[in-house]
Amino acid sequence: MSSPSNLLHLENILIELYPCNRPANWTQIMNTPALEDLRILIQSQFNLDVRPRVFGSAATGLVGEHSDVDVNLASYGVAPGQLVAWLATRCNFLGRFFVESWTPQARVPVVKLRDGHTGKILDVSVANDLPEVNSRLIAGYVAISPKVRRFIIAIISWAKDRGLCGVQQVGGLSSYAITLMSIFALQ
């Protein structure tokens, strides 16, 4: 497992190589009040300095109208499975978020929460740093040209239309895998 300092070093290198200027609508997604509410909720229960950070399509520029928001709770003071289990079993009672589903036995436990104010779906994981770095890399490629974004979205849409994209499909590829293959094809 990579240490946070190694990931930060890699992040700084990626920022130098691929500076990403995000459009204004990304700022709204990246700084949604739900993230602060989630931070406060966890801090009040566990007394942890937790930092909810957005990754995935919302962080890369590949976000669509129906995309969920992938959130990593950057916290190392509690076991990821324990925090995900607490969110999955308590959020419905607290009224701000509603549990759609959760995967406690996954390699990376995830709880899918619906924001009670906006209806937006948040896929929440804990101490899951690598996808954040991967998202910055993809955002760097997407920032090179609007054509890159359009190409990747077209390929993902094509694959979804044919049942080839989506980990819920047997043998299906994730949109992340298709994104990487699309970038490879452009090189």
Note the pLDDT tens digit of each residue in 2-19.
566 765 675 566 455 434
pLDDT, residue 168, reads: 63
For the chain, the C-alpha Rg in angstroms (whole number) is: 17
Same domain, 27 and 111: yes
Same domain, 66 and 150: no
User: Looking at the predicted structure, is the pLDDT value of residue 38 above 80?
Assistant: yes
- At 113, which CATH number? 3.30.460.10
The number of distinct structural domains making up the chain is 2
Contact by Cβ (8 Å): 169, 163: yes
Higher pLDDT, 128 or 94: 128
User: Residue 51: which of 69, 75, 82 has the closest Cα?
Assistant: 75
Band of residue 179 on the pLDDT scale cut at 50, 70, 90: very high
Q: At what angle do helices 80-94 and 33-46 cross, to 10 degrees?
A: 110
For 43-99, write each residue's pLDDT tens digit: 888 888 888 999 998 889 888 777 789 999 988 788 888 889 999 988 876 788 999
Same domain, 155 and 120: no
pLDDT, residue 11, reads: 55
pTM: 0.78
Host domain of residue 162: 145-187
Same domain, 164 and 95: no
Same domain, 134 and 164: no
Same domain, 111 and 154: no
Helical spans, DSSP H, in the chain: 4-17, 24-30, 33-46, 57-60, 80-94, 130-144, 146-161, 175-186
Band of residue 118 on the pLDDT scale cut at 50, 70, 90: confident
Contact by Cβ (8 Å): 70, 103: no
